Structure 1
């Protein structure tokens, strides 16, 4: 999917090739970054056993609600003074500014995030600039910082269990909303946590989440053998995924009802840096500005489908005007229905879950369409140097 831009700067073919075929080197870079981060911590684990001991990050008892996983409610009235929701006390929601008439968004940050850190703050501000919402930010920041990153196989599942308790709380409360009316937005590992919530919901008692938006879901869950840990189409009525660091820090394959591969999905303009790790981290984080802008933009990001990467590379995609779809906050939810009308399985929904050729912010006849064979050149370069 190509983004309209007048000044595109991309990483060199050799650098991108290295990122594709040298994941081990990437992990080494992440380890080095984590080591530097640990040096700034006031308290370091004294042994390897302590480092991998869950009690070093999540104190007992291991049950929800947990003080390390907090739910902050923001409304237009409480933008600067959020209300902490307690899922054990009905009066917590009853006396809050929660309004069931407004759309409800649950935001789950990623590695190193928090409720007072970007992109959570930027996303919150964008929604309130657009209208009235119930914004609930899940703050589990202490669980996704060193030395707790080593516990990422366990902590996200525990966090998802507590978020499922929040969904139950909202769906059973007389002033709350059903799960079908909740939109969860997860960035990086937060995208997979949003998907994991479904594992702890009873479809009869709670219903099913209305929508999950995954912002470049982390590859570190996607590479596991347990597919139930990855966000996919079974987790909500509608799942849309935006990819900007696919195959590097983000997962590669499509897993939603609609998958958008921005600028090809892996390398983003403006992300060339002096170090490989910073370049790749930039690609991964670029997804949030795209989604945040989609909340408030008057023009929107329009994309059209290609059935495969090969079709994209050789220019075989020939969309009609009615094929264009809107990416981001205001994406159409009937894409799944269109797939069923075409007798196409959701998993191979080529209308969207292929490689998107272009995003057209100026889809009013005023914008220029840009195409590129950059990905083809990169692939050829990689093949010649294997």
Structure 2
């Protein structure tokens, strides 16, 4: 991806996210035209068709997944010391044969436009590894990097499709590991799109082993929602919340109304901005060999066999921190936990007035999981089965000690599906980061205003300068007289001109 291309697209994305009445609808407009089937059987991952996913997945040779392996004995090394070769070479096979795994293997993987090798949003894995190695029975840790298939932020659709390829490659790797280590416990942990990578890995491990092997556990950290949920489901679940009565003294209604209408009129100026058409025209300049076609919401959710669901592991635990935004808004695990109601997190509400999307809330899921390793975090607010995900709150999910569970690493498998509300206020060690989000959104608002002000000042300055020049052009009698005398003196002082002899 060209850095300048990303920089060029950023303002349009910001404007769209800031002003669209249906932010999720805009975010999920994908640019693909694939209609066919690709066969990757040579890599041991089967084939894929376009019956649902309209973006053609990248080949494993393009994605080129990497594996980074850590053990407690080598935890103090600053470099990731074991980088496996591309899966279709012998490097991975040699690694499996020479490695003595402990009783448990924990696998981390990342989400959209992230990387396990070099990414701001995956730094949480470093303290998480340290905490895992401090346990009485420490596991080994493997980080799975599929960043080549998730790096183009302008084409989320392809990244979503690539979760299948990346996940099956991981599943094939785990199958080979289990052949040598049948008793090895496997615990997968994925953030955002990485959750679906984990789900696909579990699905593929079970498929190619004919049910002989299963992933023991998957932790989905705010699994990605866009393109994995249906348009109708979103409309059903995203009904506006009723206004709550307040005892706070409010400004007069007419002032409040004026303020609201003022923002509304400003916002409506961008309502007709068609980011779909803008992207299509922009991309056509660089990808003429692959014409772009828009693929919007589906009438149904992604097929179960291509997204995280309870059948992908013996136990699936999910932490929801940005539902209706970047995350799913459905209970998709055996155990689903909804911190602060699951939409926006208490430490990330500094700038959520504009829309539901919050990378801060989305990323807090892996911070919560990290903190849970060293100190078990109880969840006691069990929600009744008929509670809608829009209604998850302290009031609607009463506290119960009898059916308590734990958030994150120490979660206990349940016999029946359960979901809980959880208050993050008293959790220590969380580091919600909102600065980057605030900076980007603020920039997208104030830079156009700054440009307008600068242009206005420039025009006024030019007008003033032109006025000064016109005033300076008027003849001044005394100045003219002085200049005439000076010219005569220069002439009288000049040496006589000698005429040439004929």
Q: Distance in 2 between matches of 1:107 and 1:161?
A: 15
Q: Distance in 2 between matches of 1:24 and 1:312?
A: 21
| Pairing of 1:60-75 with structure 2 (within 5 A) | 62-63=59-60, 68-75=64-71
Instruction: Tell which deviates more after alignment, 69-78 or 108-117.
Output: 108-117
Tell me which residue corresponds to 1:5. none
Aligned residues: 298
Shift of 1:100: 3.0
Tell me which residue corresponds to 1:156. 163
2:134 paired residue among 97, 105, 129: 129
Shift of 1:268: 0.6
Shift of 1:127: 1.7
Q: Distance in 2 between matches of 1:227 and 1:28?
A: 17
Q: Higher relative contact order by CA 8 Å / sep ≥ 6: 1 or 2?
A: 1
Tell me which residue corresponds to 1:78. 74
Residue aligned with 1:321, SS: coil
Q: Distance in 2 between matches of 1:177 and 1:84?
A: 24
Cα contact 1:186–1:192 (8 A) shared by 2: yes
Q: TM-score, normalised by structure 2?
A: 0.53
Shift of 1:189: 0.3
Q: TM-score, normalised by structure 1?
A: 0.67
Cα contact 1:19–1:248 (8 A) shared by 2: no
Tell me which residue corresponds to 1:250. 327
| Pairing of 1:110-129 with structure 2 (within 5 A) | 110-116=111-117, 117=119, 118=122, 119-129=124-134
Residue aligned with 1:239, SS: strand
| Structure 1 residues 249-294: Cα deviation after superposition (integer angstroms, max 9, x where no partner) | 1000101000000000001112134574796111111111110000
Shift of 1:130: 3.2
Q: Distance in 2 between matches of 1:187 and 1:27?
A: 18
| Pairing of 1:87-102 with structure 2 (within 5 A) | 88=90, 90-96=93-99, 98-101=100-103
Shift of 1:245: 0.2
1:220 paired residue among 223, 226, 235: 226
Q: Distance in 2 between matches of 1:114 and 1:266?
A: 25
Cα contact 2:112–2:150 (8 A) shared by 1: yes
Gaps of 5+ in 1: 1-17, 32-51, 340-348, 363-386
Change (3 A) 1:231 1:216: same
Tell me which residue corresponds to 2:27. 27
Shift of 1:312: 5.3
Q: Distance in 1 between matches of 2:142 and 2:213?
A: 19
Tell me which residue corresponds to 2:148. 142
Tell me which residue corresponds to 1:356. 421
Shift of 1:316: 5.5
Cα contact 1:294–1:328 (8 A) shared by 2: yes
RMSD: 3.4
| Structure 1 residues 192-250: Cα deviation after superposition (integer angstroms, max 9, x where no partner) | 11111233233436511111110000012422533322211111100000000011110
Q: Distance in 1 between matches of 2:73 and 2:222?
A: 31
